[in-house]
């Protein structure tokens, strides 16, 4: 077989394998935790499929058990949610309830802020993350809420893929929101070159 034909054949095989990896290698299962409006679930699914090109399946509602409630402020403890639903499947949990996490603060001295309200939390790397609409809906139109939901969803999936918080570009969606929504509003639906290269390496 001529050398050119062999090169073309190898290129076609490589292209088919790459396409198969992107289109069918990963499925993310989206679980509503408690009642979640269908529009929000559809937005999460469309955001992941459009940005990361993973197949998404919306699953039945998960009940909110007392084992997930934080003891002081009665929010959902995001760490408990991740631990409970951490399996070998890729799972994204969506809730309209407020969620919290014990936040580590290093300055002026090392300490924890208990039950600190957050937008989302995900293992890095890992296969499970949780996002909350509670803070996204504050003083926001429906469209603004959906914009925020898209960014936070892609941010937490980014953590599952191994991305840390971005310190290179304030418009990269992997910036740390620090529990506030203003940083999310400043971001684009975009990964900076550093973060993009990490995922695509």
* Options 37, 115, 156, 187, the catalytic residue: 156
The contacts of residue 129 (CB under 8 Å, 6+ apart) are: 82, 91, 92, 93, 120, 121, 122, 123, 156, 157, 159, 160
In angstroms, the CA 79 to CA 76 distance is: 9
The token pair that represents 2 in the structure block: 């001529």
In the sheet that 76-77 helps form, which strands lie side by side, from edge to edge?
Answer: 76-77, 99-105, 111-118
156: annotated active-site residue:
yes
DSSP letters along 44-70, please?
HHHHHHHHT--EEEE-PPBP--GGGB-
The token pair that represents 93 in the structure block: 């949990």
Cβ(53)–Cβ(22) below 8 Å: yes
In angstroms, the CA 101 to CA 116 distance is: 5
Q: Give catalytic residue positions.
A: 156
């Amino acid at each position: 077989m001529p050398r050119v034909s062999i090169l073309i054949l190898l290129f076609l095989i490589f292209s088919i394998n790459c396409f198969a990896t992107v289109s069918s290698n990963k499925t993310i299962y989206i679980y509503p935790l408690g009642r979640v409006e269908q529009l929000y679930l559809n937005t999460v699914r469309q955001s992941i499929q459009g940005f990361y090109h993973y197949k998404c399946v919306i699953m039945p509602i998960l009940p909110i058990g007392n084992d997930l409630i934080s003891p002081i402020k009665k929010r959902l403890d995001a760490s408990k949610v991740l631990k409970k639903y951490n399996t070998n499947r890729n799972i994204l949990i969506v809730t309209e309830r407020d969620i919290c996490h014990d936040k580590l603060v290093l300055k002026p001295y090392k300490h924890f802020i208990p039950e600190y309200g957050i937008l989302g939390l995900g293992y890095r790397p890992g296969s499970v993350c949780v996002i909350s609409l509670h803070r996204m809906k504050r003083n926001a139109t429906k469209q603004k809420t959906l914009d925020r939901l898209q960014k936070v969803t892609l941010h937490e999936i980014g953590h599952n893929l191994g991305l840390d918080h971005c310190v290179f570009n304030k418009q990269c969606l992997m910036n740390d929101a620090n529990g506030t929504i203003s940083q999310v509003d400043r971001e684009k639906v975009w990964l900076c070159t550093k973060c993009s290269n990490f995922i695509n390496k």
